[in-house]
A and B are shown apart, each in its own frame.
Chain A
Amino acid sequence: MRPSQSHYETLLDAVFVPDDRIGAVVDAGAQDHPFLGAMDVRAPPLMANVYTGIAERR
């Protein structure tokens, strides 16, 4: 889990997530899961536009 930076450790401390709120449980190492693909497609444009906005600062 990385809501901030990759070198942070995010611990799921006493977290409960009901079954119907789980998007997908993917085996370790699986790279071709459609759910992961959907997230990967959405992530780069969002991050890229943030950095575009930073570059547009005046």
Chain B
Amino acid sequence: MAGSPGAGLERCGSGERYTLVAVLVVVLAVLVVLVVVVRVMVASGSGGAAIAAPARCLPRSPRPRAPTVRRQGAASDREHGSAPSSSTRAGPAGPRTVGRSRPQEAPMTATLHRSTARRGLPDDATLSEFRTRAAGYDDRNEYFHDDLAVLRSIGYLGAAVPESFGGWGLSLGELAANQRRPARFAITRRWPCACTTTGWASPSSWSGRATPPAGGSGQGRGGYLAAGHAEVGNDAPVVMSTAAVRGAGWLPLQRSQAGSVPTGRCGPTSACTRRCVRSTAPRSCTASSSGGRRASPSCHGGHAGHATVAEPLRDPARRRVRA
């Protein structure tokens, strides 16, 4: 009977079958645990790279990008039709490599160009001119009038003004990021505060009081935003100014409020007269009262359409802001 077909099964008792099944179950359980552990490690990234997991189980990782070396201002050069400038310029402080953004700044730069290149950002050639003048401004302690005129001509002073007001409509982030580029070009020290007033244009529009006249806001057209305020120890702008608050507006006065700066600029050819001639009250300034503390009421209010607020004069010792 040893050669009968059922001899093997007869030797395999029920206890041995149970043992075999238990071993198989344990092996399967171990495999399941291993698979789970591998997936958890791959998902958490701890040591997952050393484990050859199936590709479909790997999480999507950003494809490593080569550093985008893009000359800043290239887009604006194309926009303005100017010739590409050299990558190295010799400025007052020596040659500097310009326009080559750092790799980690490439995304920011690309976004900046996409959103603002068409709006007339100063190109490399313009910024190079700024650089050549910066040292002179700082040495003579002068205001950067020429640079400001360029910025006005390209509309940069209205960068923060909403488009509905005639500006570029840059967000705070865009404008702040754009501040870096001119600063890399050895801009004069006056630049930071001047650009701060540029950024103030937007809250001025939010206030709802600066209603846009036909043609856009003053700053959108290149005007200048002024903020008159005094501080402890710095009240000269208020007591020596020839303009005073009256109601919700400002009045041009014939002389300073404190009488210390007798200007008397409201004459037939003065800036004040030209201002009012263009407004709806042509005789208001010439009819201003003496004493310097009051002006003709006709000069007050209702002169919409002339939005240019202020323009500093070339006076290094004492800048005066005229209309």
Contacts and interface: CB of A to CB of B under 8 A. Distances in A.
Interface of A: 1-25, 28, 35, 38-39, 42-43, 45-54, 56-58
B204 interface: yes
Given A9-B318, A24-B207, A25-B248, A15 B309 contact: yes
Interface stretch (B34-42, B113-121, B175-183): B175-183
Interface string B176-201: 11011111101101111111111110
B303 interface: yes
17 contacts: A3-B190, A3-B197, A3-B312, A9-B318, A14-B271, A15-B242, A15-B250, A16-B250, A16-B251, A18-B279, A18-B301, A19-B247, A24-B207, A38-B206, A46-B176, A53-B184, A58-B97
B226 A1 contact: yes
Contact of A50 (B195, B197, B204, B272): B195
Interface of B: 96-97, 102, 143, 160, 172-173, 175-177, 179-184, 186-187, 189-200, 202-204, 206-207, 209-211, 213, 218, 224, 226-231, 234, 236-237, 240-243, 245, 247-253, 256, 261, 263, 265-266, 270-272, 275-276, 279, 285, 299-304, 306-307, 309-310, 312-313, 318-323
Nearest to B281: A16
A3 B181 contact: no
A40 to B, nearest CB: 10
A45 B172 contact: yes
Given A10-B320, A54-B184, A18 B306 contact: yes
B52 to A, nearest CB: 43
A17 B172 contact: no
B303 A1 contact: no
B272 A14 contact: yes
A15 B206 CA distance: 23
A25 B97 CA distance: 46
B230 A28 contact: yes
A31 B103 CA distance: 42
A16 B298 CA distance: 12
